Amino acid sequence: MCDPVARVQALAGEYDALRPRMVRVAYAILGSRAEAEDVVADCWARLVEADAREPVRDLTGWLTVTVARAATDVLRSARVRREEYVGPWLPEPFVATSDTDPADRVTLDETVSYALAVVLESLSPAERTAWVLHDVFGMGFPEVAVVVGRTPAAVRQLASRARAHLAAQPARFEVDRAAHEEVLGRFLAAAAGGDLAALLETLDPDVVLTSDGGGVVSSARRPVHGADRVARFLVGLVGKYVGDVEIEFVEANGAPAVALREDGALTSLLVLTVVRGRATRVDLLRAPAKLAAADRDVRRG
């Protein structure tokens, strides 16, 4: 007869090995790292209970379905809260520095870039879950149907609609790193120097700037559209900084980004989406609650 304690210990080891993948699944569905980590943690207790009733043979499959279903439920309720959110809502990124130990990182660059996480917000919960599980994580439509609560045929349609919507977006999510870093460097130099003309050279004519302050700190309450308006907004924003401002290059979901500190405190995280040598999106995360986890990542790195 199997020792229950030994079984739970063995299960814990397998769960820990799969946890980074499960966090990626939950994050891709939710766009919130805190909620994703909570969902995965809650599923550990469910796993122990389920395994006690009947041993779980396919742990990867069981966890993926359970985590995805729980994340989808959370997303449906979160949508209501996000509709009441003060100003635009941006996803919470996973942040790393060049010194971060790979063993301590949840790498998302091959699954969910920050640009993709932003665009996924425009999908319905069912479309998002269907596309993420099938197109990103390779689950079959019958398994996805169990998560979403639809027929396999209906899930296929959901994924198809999501795919068409994402294909229509101007941003491509696979960007040459060297090109991204080059644009980011010119963007920062121009913004810091108040050089409006040089800043315009780094921006796509139809660029959109989104600033998420969560209603707690100063930010644009609506997205800013167009290169001229975005450039003037950024130059004006830089002019408002007081005290010591430290610029640190980091990675947000595997892509180059910039962390800004004022008097030692992380106050902003800047992420560009770069297409054909120009920024098509400027995402400025300023909400303190969302920056808290990013700050822990940077300091741990």
Identical fold for domains 114-170 and 177-300, yes or no, is: no
Burial class (CB in 10 A: 0-12, 13-18, 19+), 95: buried
User: Do strands 278-285 and 203-212 pair parallel, antiparallel, or not at all (unpaired)?
Assistant: parallel
Domain 1-84 has CATH 1.20.58: no
The candidate with the shortest Cα–Cα distance to 221, out of 86, 30, 68, 39, is: 86
CATH value of 114-170 in 1.10.10.10, 3.20.20.80, 3.30.470.20, 2.40.30.10: 1.10.10.10
What integer pLDDT is reported at residue 286 of this predicted model?
Answer: 92
- The Cα 257–Cα 184 span in angstroms is 8
Res. 110: pLDDT tops 60: no
Q: For 11-39, how does the pLDDT look when each residue is reduced to its tens digit (9 = 90+)? A: 999 999 999 999 999 999 999 988 999 99
The residues spanned by each domain of the chain are: 1-84, 114-170, 177-300
User: Token pair 């439509």 is at which residue?
Assistant: 141
The closest of 238, 208, 215, 231 to 118, measured between CA atoms, is: 208
CATH number 3.10.450.50 given to 177-300: yes
> Each residue of 82-106: pLDDT tens digit?
777 888 999 998 887 655 555 444 4
pLDDT for the residue numbered 1: 47
Is beta strand 245-252 parallel, antiparallel or unpaired with respect to 278-285?
A: unpaired
